[in-house]
Amino acid sequence: MIPFALPPAETKLSLRALTQGFLSHSSDFSKKLQALLGTKVCVLANSARALLYLLFQDLRNRSASNGGEVLVPGYTCYSVPAALVKAGLQVALYDIDPRSLQPDMADVKRKIKTNTLAIVVQQLLGVPANIGELSKIARQHGICCIEDSAQLLGPFQNIAGKEMAADFTVFSFGRGKPLPLGNGGALIAKKPDDLTRLARDLKARPGKQGISFLPFAVQILAMPHFYWIVEKLPLGLGRTVYDPSFDVTDMPQLYQRFGAATLDELVLLNLHRSDIAEIYHSYLSDKKDSRLTGNMPACVRYPLLVQNQGAAQRLARYGVRQFYPLALCDLLPLRHRLAGNAEMTPGAREIANRLITLPTHSAVNEKTASQLVREVEQIFQQKTVIDFG
Protein backbone atom coordinates (compact mmCIF):
# COMPACT_ATOMS: atom_id res chain seq x y z
CA MET A 1 0.00 0.00 0.00
CA ILE A 2 1.31 3.47 -0.93
CA PRO A 3 1.47 5.73 2.18
CA PHE A 4 -0.46 8.96 2.09
CA ALA A 5 -1.20 11.91 4.33
CA LEU A 6 -3.65 14.74 3.80
CA PRO A 7 -2.38 18.26 4.55
CA PRO A 8 -4.19 19.90 7.50
CA ALA A 9 -5.27 22.89 5.38
CA GLU A 10 -5.50 24.11 1.79
CA THR A 11 -2.24 24.52 -0.12
CA LYS A 12 -3.48 23.84 -3.64
CA LEU A 13 -3.65 26.33 -6.49
CA SER A 14 -5.40 25.29 -9.67
CA LEU A 15 -3.41 24.70 -12.84
CA ARG A 16 -5.28 27.64 -14.35
CA ALA A 17 -4.17 29.96 -11.55
CA LEU A 18 -0.57 28.79 -11.77
CA THR A 19 -0.52 29.19 -15.54
CA GLN A 20 -2.00 32.68 -15.43
CA GLY A 21 0.41 33.66 -12.70
CA PHE A 22 3.47 32.66 -14.68
CA LEU A 23 2.31 33.70 -18.15
CA SER A 24 0.43 36.96 -17.60
CA HIS A 25 2.31 40.25 -17.34
CA SER A 26 -0.05 42.31 -15.20
CA SER A 27 -2.44 41.85 -12.29
CA ASP A 28 -5.76 43.38 -11.27
CA PHE A 29 -5.70 41.57 -7.91
CA SER A 30 -6.10 44.74 -5.86
CA LYS A 31 -9.10 45.89 -7.91
CA LYS A 32 -10.73 42.44 -7.67
CA LEU A 33 -10.28 42.45 -3.90
CA GLN A 34 -11.76 45.92 -3.64
CA ALA A 35 -14.81 44.78 -5.60
CA LEU A 36 -15.22 41.68 -3.41
CA LEU A 37 -14.87 43.61 -0.16
CA GLY A 38 -16.80 46.71 -1.17
CA THR A 39 -13.98 49.16 -0.59
CA LYS A 40 -12.13 51.76 -2.65
CA VAL A 41 -8.63 51.21 -1.29
CA CYS A 42 -6.70 48.02 -0.57
CA VAL A 43 -3.06 47.89 0.54
CA LEU A 44 -1.08 44.75 -0.34
CA ALA A 45 2.10 43.50 1.36
CA ASN A 46 4.18 40.34 1.55
CA SER A 47 2.26 39.12 4.61
CA ALA A 48 -0.59 39.97 6.96
CA ARG A 49 1.82 40.39 9.88
CA ALA A 50 3.76 42.98 7.85
CA LEU A 51 0.56 44.98 7.44
CA LEU A 52 -0.29 44.60 11.13
CA TYR A 53 3.17 45.89 12.00
CA LEU A 54 2.74 48.96 9.78
CA LEU A 55 -0.71 49.58 11.26
CA PHE A 56 0.50 49.19 14.87
CA GLN A 57 3.47 51.44 14.14
CA ASP A 58 1.14 54.08 12.74
CA LEU A 59 -1.11 53.86 15.82
CA ARG A 60 1.93 54.23 18.07
CA ASN A 61 3.23 57.25 16.17
CA ARG A 62 -0.17 58.93 16.44
CA SER A 63 -0.57 58.25 20.18
CA ALA A 64 0.13 61.03 22.66
CA SER A 65 2.68 58.93 24.56
CA ASN A 66 4.26 57.33 21.47
CA GLY A 67 3.53 53.98 23.09
CA GLY A 68 0.79 52.00 24.79
CA GLU A 69 -0.75 48.57 24.51
CA VAL A 70 -3.10 46.70 22.22
CA LEU A 71 -5.68 44.14 23.38
CA VAL A 72 -5.47 40.84 21.50
CA PRO A 73 -7.14 37.44 21.96
CA GLY A 74 -5.37 35.22 24.48
CA TYR A 75 -5.30 32.47 21.88
CA THR A 76 -4.30 33.65 18.43
CA CYS A 77 -1.61 33.34 15.77
CA TYR A 78 1.79 34.30 17.16
CA SER A 79 2.26 36.69 14.23
CA VAL A 80 -0.12 39.14 15.94
CA PRO A 81 1.98 39.70 19.10
CA ALA A 82 5.15 39.52 16.97
CA ALA A 83 3.88 42.48 14.93
CA LEU A 84 3.08 44.39 18.13
CA VAL A 85 6.51 43.77 19.62
CA LYS A 86 8.20 44.80 16.36
CA ALA A 87 6.18 48.04 16.51
CA GLY A 88 7.35 48.70 20.08
CA LEU A 89 3.98 48.19 21.80
CA GLN A 90 2.87 46.14 24.80
CA VAL A 91 0.65 43.07 24.36
CA ALA A 92 -2.49 42.94 26.51
CA LEU A 93 -4.66 39.81 26.48
CA TYR A 94 -8.40 39.24 26.72
CA ASP A 95 -10.02 35.86 27.15
CA ILE A 96 -12.03 33.72 24.72
CA ASP A 97 -15.03 31.48 25.35
CA PRO A 98 -13.85 27.93 24.50
CA ARG A 99 -17.40 26.80 23.66
CA SER A 100 -17.93 29.39 20.92
CA LEU A 101 -14.42 30.80 20.21
CA GLN A 102 -15.99 34.25 20.73
CA PRO A 103 -14.40 37.10 22.70
CA ASP A 104 -15.27 37.28 26.40
CA MET A 105 -16.85 40.73 26.21
CA ALA A 106 -16.82 41.26 29.97
CA ASP A 107 -13.09 40.53 30.05
CA VAL A 108 -12.49 42.89 27.11
CA LYS A 109 -14.18 45.71 29.02
CA ARG A 110 -12.16 44.94 32.17
CA LYS A 111 -8.84 44.99 30.30
CA ILE A 112 -9.24 48.35 28.52
CA LYS A 113 -6.97 50.99 30.08
CA THR A 114 -6.17 54.64 29.47
CA ASN A 115 -3.14 53.63 27.36
CA THR A 116 -5.01 51.04 25.25
CA LEU A 117 -4.71 51.98 21.57
CA ALA A 118 -6.77 49.27 19.90
CA ILE A 119 -8.59 45.95 20.19
CA VAL A 120 -7.87 43.09 17.79
CA VAL A 121 -10.68 40.62 17.09
CA GLN A 122 -10.05 37.44 15.13
CA GLN A 123 -12.11 35.13 12.92
CA LEU A 124 -10.45 32.01 14.35
CA LEU A 125 -10.43 29.16 11.80
CA GLY A 126 -13.14 30.99 9.86
CA VAL A 127 -15.67 31.02 12.73
CA PRO A 128 -17.36 34.45 12.39
CA ALA A 129 -16.79 36.61 15.47
CA ASN A 130 -19.10 39.23 16.94
CA ILE A 131 -17.33 42.17 15.31
CA GLY A 132 -20.25 44.54 15.83
CA GLU A 133 -20.26 44.35 19.63
CA LEU A 134 -16.49 44.67 19.90
CA SER A 135 -16.50 47.64 17.54
CA LYS A 136 -19.14 49.29 19.71
CA ILE A 137 -17.01 48.79 22.82
CA ALA A 138 -13.98 50.23 20.99
CA ARG A 139 -15.94 53.31 19.89
CA GLN A 140 -17.19 53.91 23.42
CA HIS A 141 -13.58 54.09 24.60
CA GLY A 142 -12.27 56.07 21.63
CA ILE A 143 -9.93 53.33 20.39
CA CYS A 144 -9.55 51.37 17.15
CA CYS A 145 -11.10 47.99 16.39
CA ILE A 146 -8.90 45.83 14.14
CA GLU A 147 -10.36 42.72 12.53
CA ASP A 148 -7.89 39.89 11.99
CA SER A 149 -9.58 38.06 9.12
CA ALA A 150 -6.57 35.99 8.11
CA GLN A 151 -8.74 32.86 8.23
CA LEU A 152 -11.98 34.18 6.73
CA LEU A 153 -12.60 35.58 3.27
CA GLY A 154 -15.69 35.21 1.13
CA PRO A 155 -19.45 34.85 1.42
CA PHE A 156 -19.42 34.95 5.23
CA GLN A 157 -17.32 38.10 5.38
CA ASN A 158 -19.03 40.62 7.67
CA ILE A 159 -18.15 43.62 5.55
CA ALA A 160 -19.21 42.57 2.06
CA GLY A 161 -21.92 44.82 0.66
CA LYS A 162 -22.23 47.04 3.73
CA GLU A 163 -20.24 49.40 5.90
CA MET A 164 -17.33 47.83 7.73
CA ALA A 165 -17.83 47.18 11.42
CA ALA A 166 -14.13 47.33 12.30
CA ASP A 167 -11.90 50.32 11.62
CA PHE A 168 -9.35 48.10 9.86
CA THR A 169 -9.48 44.55 8.48
CA VAL A 170 -6.44 42.47 7.57
CA PHE A 171 -6.38 39.35 5.37
CA SER A 172 -3.70 36.71 4.81
CA PHE A 173 -2.94 34.77 1.64
CA GLY A 174 -0.42 32.33 3.10
CA ARG A 175 -0.66 28.56 2.74
CA GLY A 176 -3.64 27.16 4.61
CA LYS A 177 -5.59 30.40 4.36
CA PRO A 178 -8.92 30.91 2.50
CA LEU A 179 -6.99 32.14 -0.55
CA PRO A 180 -3.87 29.93 -0.25
CA LEU A 181 -1.41 31.77 -2.50
CA GLY A 182 1.61 31.06 -0.31
CA ASN A 183 2.48 34.74 0.08
CA GLY A 184 0.84 38.08 0.74
CA GLY A 185 -1.71 39.97 2.77
CA ALA A 186 -4.20 42.80 2.35
CA LEU A 187 -5.41 45.63 4.55
CA ILE A 188 -8.56 47.71 4.14
CA ALA A 189 -10.03 50.51 6.26
CA LYS A 190 -13.43 51.97 7.06
CA LYS A 191 -11.88 55.35 6.20
CA PRO A 192 -9.64 54.74 3.15
CA ASP A 193 -7.62 57.89 3.88
CA ASP A 194 -6.29 56.13 7.00
CA LEU A 195 -4.23 53.89 4.70
CA THR A 196 -2.36 56.71 2.95
CA ARG A 197 0.69 56.66 5.25
CA LEU A 198 0.90 52.86 5.18
CA ALA A 199 0.75 52.73 1.39
CA ARG A 200 3.49 55.36 1.19
CA ASP A 201 5.66 53.39 3.62
CA LEU A 202 5.27 50.18 1.60
CA LYS A 203 6.34 51.90 -1.63
CA ALA A 204 9.69 52.51 0.03
CA ARG A 205 10.02 48.78 0.81
CA PRO A 206 10.11 46.98 -2.56
CA GLY A 207 10.23 43.21 -2.33
CA LYS A 208 11.92 40.62 -4.51
CA GLN A 209 10.28 40.14 -7.87
CA GLY A 210 10.97 37.70 -10.67
CA ILE A 211 10.07 34.06 -11.21
CA SER A 212 9.94 31.50 -8.41
CA PHE A 213 9.27 27.82 -8.90
CA LEU A 214 8.38 27.33 -5.24
CA PRO A 215 4.61 27.41 -6.00
CA PHE A 216 4.99 24.45 -8.38
CA ALA A 217 7.05 22.55 -5.81
CA VAL A 218 4.41 23.19 -3.14
CA GLN A 219 1.65 21.83 -5.38
CA ILE A 220 3.57 18.59 -5.92
CA LEU A 221 4.71 18.12 -2.33
CA ALA A 222 1.22 18.83 -0.95
CA MET A 223 -0.23 15.83 -2.78
CA PRO A 224 -1.33 13.13 -0.29
CA HIS A 225 1.18 10.60 -1.65
CA PHE A 226 4.08 13.02 -1.05
CA TYR A 227 2.97 15.08 1.94
CA TRP A 228 3.83 12.38 4.49
CA ILE A 229 7.45 12.50 3.30
CA VAL A 230 7.60 16.29 3.53
CA GLU A 231 6.32 16.26 7.12
CA LYS A 232 9.16 13.95 8.15
CA LEU A 233 11.78 16.40 6.89
CA PRO A 234 13.16 19.09 9.27
CA LEU A 235 11.47 21.93 7.38
CA GLY A 236 9.35 23.30 10.22
CA LEU A 237 6.28 22.63 8.09
CA GLY A 238 3.05 23.46 9.88
CA ARG A 239 4.84 25.00 12.87
CA THR A 240 3.71 28.36 14.22
CA VAL A 241 6.75 30.40 15.26
CA TYR A 242 6.92 33.62 17.27
CA ASP A 243 9.43 35.82 15.44
CA PRO A 244 9.32 39.64 15.50
CA SER A 245 12.22 39.90 13.00
CA PHE A 246 10.14 39.32 9.86
CA ASP A 247 10.52 41.25 6.59
CA VAL A 248 8.14 44.01 5.53
CA THR A 249 7.85 44.52 1.76
CA ASP A 250 5.22 44.92 -0.90
CA MET A 251 3.47 41.83 -2.31
CA PRO A 252 5.39 40.19 -5.18
CA GLN A 253 3.72 40.61 -8.57
CA LEU A 254 3.83 36.85 -9.22
CA TYR A 255 1.62 36.17 -6.20
CA GLN A 256 -0.68 39.03 -7.10
CA ARG A 257 -1.24 37.34 -10.46
CA PHE A 258 -1.93 34.05 -8.67
CA GLY A 259 -4.39 35.93 -6.49
CA ALA A 260 -6.26 37.51 -9.39
CA ALA A 261 -6.84 34.07 -10.92
CA THR A 262 -7.64 32.26 -7.66
CA LEU A 263 -10.19 34.85 -6.52
CA ASP A 264 -12.44 33.59 -9.32
CA GLU A 265 -12.43 30.18 -7.56
CA LEU A 266 -12.97 31.47 -4.01
CA VAL A 267 -16.73 30.88 -3.94
CA LEU A 268 -16.30 27.19 -4.85
CA LEU A 269 -13.44 26.77 -2.38
CA ASN A 270 -15.58 28.19 0.43
CA LEU A 271 -18.65 26.17 -0.53
CA HIS A 272 -16.56 23.01 -0.32
CA ARG A 273 -15.19 24.00 3.10
CA SER A 274 -18.70 24.72 4.31
CA ASP A 275 -20.05 21.40 3.01
CA ILE A 276 -17.28 19.36 4.65
CA ALA A 277 -17.66 21.28 7.92
CA GLU A 278 -21.38 20.52 7.86
CA ILE A 279 -20.66 16.78 7.53
CA TYR A 280 -18.46 16.91 10.61
CA HIS A 281 -20.85 19.10 12.57
CA SER A 282 -24.01 17.12 11.82
CA TYR A 283 -22.29 13.90 12.91
CA LEU A 284 -20.62 15.23 16.07
CA SER A 285 -23.21 17.67 17.41
CA ASP A 286 -26.05 16.51 19.64
CA LYS A 287 -27.82 19.83 19.07
CA LYS A 288 -29.39 19.98 15.61
CA ASP A 289 -29.49 23.64 14.59
CA SER A 290 -31.58 24.18 11.46
CA ARG A 291 -30.02 27.64 11.05
CA LEU A 292 -26.71 25.98 10.14
CA THR A 293 -28.14 23.68 7.47
CA GLY A 294 -26.62 24.98 4.26
CA ASN A 295 -25.15 27.92 6.21
CA MET A 296 -22.11 26.47 7.95
CA PRO A 297 -19.15 28.85 8.17
CA ALA A 298 -16.46 28.20 5.56
CA CYS A 299 -13.96 27.00 8.18
CA VAL A 300 -10.41 26.68 6.86
CA ARG A 301 -10.16 23.86 9.42
CA TYR A 302 -13.04 22.49 11.50
CA PRO A 303 -12.47 23.11 15.24
CA LEU A 304 -13.22 20.53 17.93
CA LEU A 305 -12.34 20.47 21.64
CA VAL A 306 -11.25 17.08 23.02
CA GLN A 307 -9.83 15.81 26.31
CA ASN A 308 -6.90 13.68 25.09
CA GLN A 309 -5.50 16.11 22.54
CA GLY A 310 -2.35 14.07 21.93
CA ALA A 311 -4.42 11.28 20.39
CA ALA A 312 -4.82 13.47 17.31
CA GLN A 313 -1.51 12.00 16.15
CA ARG A 314 -3.37 8.74 15.43
CA LEU A 315 -5.35 10.61 12.76
CA ALA A 316 -2.44 12.58 11.30
CA ARG A 317 -2.78 10.81 7.94
CA TYR A 318 -6.23 12.43 7.64
CA GLY A 319 -4.83 15.92 8.27
CA VAL A 320 -6.07 16.10 11.88
CA ARG A 321 -3.81 18.36 13.94
CA GLN A 322 -3.52 20.41 17.07
CA PHE A 323 -3.50 24.14 16.33
CA TYR A 324 -1.42 26.84 18.05
CA PRO A 325 0.22 24.80 20.84
CA LEU A 326 0.22 27.52 23.52
CA ALA A 327 -1.96 30.36 24.72
CA LEU A 328 -0.09 33.67 24.51
CA CYS A 329 0.22 33.88 28.30
CA ASP A 330 2.36 30.71 28.17
CA LEU A 331 4.58 31.78 25.25
CA LEU A 332 7.91 32.30 27.04
CA PRO A 333 9.62 34.62 24.51
CA LEU A 334 6.63 36.97 24.80
CA ARG A 335 6.45 37.10 28.61
CA HIS A 336 8.48 40.31 29.04
CA ARG A 337 6.20 42.20 26.59
CA LEU A 338 2.90 41.21 28.18
CA ALA A 339 0.83 43.76 30.06
CA GLY A 340 -0.50 42.98 33.55
CA ASN A 341 -3.02 40.20 34.32
CA ALA A 342 -1.78 38.16 31.36
CA GLU A 343 -2.34 34.99 33.37
CA MET A 344 -6.06 35.67 33.55
CA THR A 345 -7.05 33.97 30.29
CA PRO A 346 -8.23 30.51 31.38
CA GLY A 347 -10.45 30.12 28.32
CA ALA A 348 -7.48 30.66 26.00
CA ARG A 349 -5.49 28.06 27.93
CA GLU A 350 -8.32 25.56 27.66
CA ILE A 351 -8.47 26.07 23.89
CA ALA A 352 -4.70 25.55 23.59
CA ASN A 353 -4.92 22.34 25.64
CA ARG A 354 -7.98 20.86 23.94
CA LEU A 355 -8.32 22.14 20.37
CA ILE A 356 -7.83 19.86 17.39
CA THR A 357 -8.74 20.64 13.78
CA LEU A 358 -10.21 18.53 11.00
CA PRO A 359 -9.37 19.37 7.36
CA THR A 360 -11.99 20.92 5.09
CA HIS A 361 -9.88 21.59 1.98
CA SER A 362 -10.47 20.48 -1.60
CA ALA A 363 -8.66 17.14 -1.20
CA VAL A 364 -11.25 16.03 1.39
CA ASN A 365 -14.34 14.55 -0.24
CA GLU A 366 -17.60 13.44 1.36
CA LYS A 367 -16.45 9.83 1.71
CA THR A 368 -13.18 10.81 3.40
CA ALA A 369 -14.94 13.26 5.73
CA SER A 370 -17.51 10.64 6.78
CA GLN A 371 -14.80 8.06 7.42
CA LEU A 372 -12.69 10.53 9.37
CA VAL A 373 -15.49 11.76 11.60
CA ARG A 374 -16.41 8.17 12.53
CA GLU A 375 -12.82 7.56 13.65
CA VAL A 376 -12.86 10.83 15.60
CA GLU A 377 -16.00 9.62 17.38
CA GLN A 378 -14.28 6.36 18.35
CA ILE A 379 -10.99 7.86 19.52
CA PHE A 380 -12.26 10.92 21.41
CA GLN A 381 -14.91 9.86 23.91
CA GLN A 382 -15.10 13.28 25.60
CA LYS A 383 -15.39 16.24 23.26
CA THR A 384 -17.04 19.63 22.97
CA VAL A 385 -18.52 20.75 19.66
CA ILE A 386 -18.10 24.46 18.98
CA ASP A 387 -21.33 26.47 19.12
CA PHE A 388 -21.49 28.28 15.77
CA GLY A 389 -24.83 29.90 16.60
* Domain at 20, CATH number: 3.40.640.10
CA–CA separation, 16 and 284 (whole Å): 36
Angle at 141 between CA 126 and CA 65, to 5 degrees: 105
Q: pLDDT per position in the chain (389 positions), as tens?
A: 445 788 888 877 888 888 887 787 777 999 999 999 988 899 999 999 999 999 999 999 988 777 799 999 999 999 999 999 999 999 999 999 999 999 999 999 999 999 999 999 999 999 999 999 999 999 999 999 999 999 999 744 444 445 678 999 999 999 899 999 989 999 999 999 999 989 998 888 877 665 566 665 666 666 666 665 666 655 555 667 899 999 999 999 989 999 999 999 999 999 999 999 999 999 998 766 555 556 789 999 999 999 988 898 899 889 999 999 999 999 999 999 998 766 789 999 999 999 999 999 999 999 999 999 999 999 998 899 998 87
Per-residue pLDDT, 7: 86
User: Quick one: pLDDT at residue 162?
Assistant: 55
Sequence-separated (6 or more) residues with CB below 8 Å from residue 114:
none
Amino acid at 112: I
The span from the CA of 157 to the CA of 349, in Å, is 27
Q: C-alpha distances in angstroms, 146 versus 93, 150, 168?
A: 14, 12, 5
Residue-level pLDDT at 293? 58
In degrees, rounded to 5, the angle at the alpha carbon of residue 70 between the alpha carbons of residues 161 and 246 is: 85
Instruction: Please indicate, yes or no, if residue 200 is contained in any of the structural domains.
Output: yes
> Looking at residue 21, what is its pLDDT?
78
pTM above 0.85, yes or no: yes
Going along the chain, which residue ranges are E strands? 43-45, 69-73, 90-94, 96-97, 102-103, 116-122, 144-148, 168-172, 185-189, 301-306, 321-322, 355-359, 383-385
Is 8 contained in some domain? no
Residue 333 falls within a domain, yes or no? yes
Encoded amino acid at 31, one letter: K
Residue 297 lies in a domain: yes
Distance, in Å, from the CA atom of 94 to the CA atom of 266, rounded to the nearest integer, reads 32
Q: Is 65 helix (H, G, I), strand (E, B) or coil?
A: coil
Is residue 6 domain-resident? no
* Domain membership flag for residue 347: yes
Structural domain of residue 79, as residue ranges? 15-204+212-238+247-385
pLDDT, position 285: 86
Query: What was the pLDDT predicted at 212?
Result: 65
In the chain, the number of structural domains is: 1
Integer Cα distance of 139 and 28 in angstroms: 34
Residue 14 and residue 152 in contact, taking contact as beta carbons nearer than 8 Å: no
